[in-house]
Amino acid sequence: MPNTISHPTVDDVYAILQTVPDPEVPVISVLELGIIRAVEEGPTHEFTVTVTPTYSGCPAIEAININIIAALQEAGVKAKIKSTISPPWTTDDITEEGRAKLLAYGIAPPNGSASKASLTGNDKPRACPLCESTNTELLSQFGSTSCKALYRCIDCREPFDYFKCH
Ligand SMILES: [Zn+2]
């Protein structure tokens, strides 16, 4: 963890946010999840971090906000959270780094665009995260959390979570 910063900047705040994990998928940070909309410095050196909730009904957002404030306080940064729901978060906001980390962790990242997937109903993993086979089958619409579906690879026979587009 970083030591206390005497004159924190917006960049410092982003660097700290990069150390705050998504509670549901701890391999990616809240920055990589794409839920940080803005970081602004106020006149009294208090920062406002604008966060958008991920999925309605996902209880993780409370934990995320608490973790963000705790990490910033630990570094000596005064901050508060501002919540915004517009524009709404979609899986399209997960960064390239975030997607690569999901894949390395064995979770198939969202495949394609959230808006397109909901239009076509064609929301399924591109390939098995373990062996890259595209020969996969859906086991359950709900995996370890409601945000994910449980799939199985027909070739290597391993089950895996798919981070659904939404
Ligand atoms: Zn496989």
Question: pLDDT tens digits for 94-130?
Answer: 999 999 999 999 999 999 787 766 666 678 999 999 9
The three-state secondary structure class of 50 is: strand
Cβ atoms of 77 and 16 within 8 Å: the answer is yes
C-alpha 99 to ligand 1 mean position (Å): 18
Ligand 1 centroid to 106 CA: how many Å? 10
Query: 129-140, pLDDT tens digit by residue?
Result: 999 999 999 999
Q: Give residue 105 CA to ligand 1 midpoint distance, Å.
A: 14
Compute CA 72 distance to the chain's CA centroid, rounded to the nearest angstrom: 19
Prior bond to 26 cis, omega within 30? no
Q: How far apart are CA 51 and CA 156, in angstroms?
A: 39
Q: How far, in Å, CA of 73 to CA of 80, rounded?
A: 10
Between CA 62 and CA 44 the distance in angstroms is 26
Dihedral sign for Cα 105, 111, 114, 120, please: negative
Instruction: Calculate what percentage of the chain has a pLDDT beyond 70.
Output: 91
Q: Which residues contact 99 (CB under 8 A, 6 or more apart)?
A: 109, 110
Q: How confident is the model at residue 26 (pLDDT cuts 50, 70, 90)?
A: confident
pLDDT at 59: 65
Amino acid at 118: S
pLDDT band at 9 (very low <50, low <70, confident <90, very high): very high
Res 32: pLDDT: 96
Distance from the alpha carbon of residue 150 to the mean position of ligand 1, in angstroms: 13
Residue with the bigger pLDDT between 157 and 56: it is 157
Span 34-66, pLDDT tens digits: 999 999 999 888 999 999 987 655 666 788 899
Lowest mean pLDDT among 141-145, 146-150, 156-160: 141-145
Domains of the chain with bracketed CATH: 10-83 (3.30.300.130), 91-163 (no CATH)
Mean per-residue pLDDT, 153-163 = 96
Task: Note the helical H segments in the chain.
Answer: 10-17, 30-33, 60-74, 96-104, 114-120
- What spacing in Å lies between the alpha carbon of 143 and ligand 1's midpoint? 17
Length of the chain in residues, anyone? 166
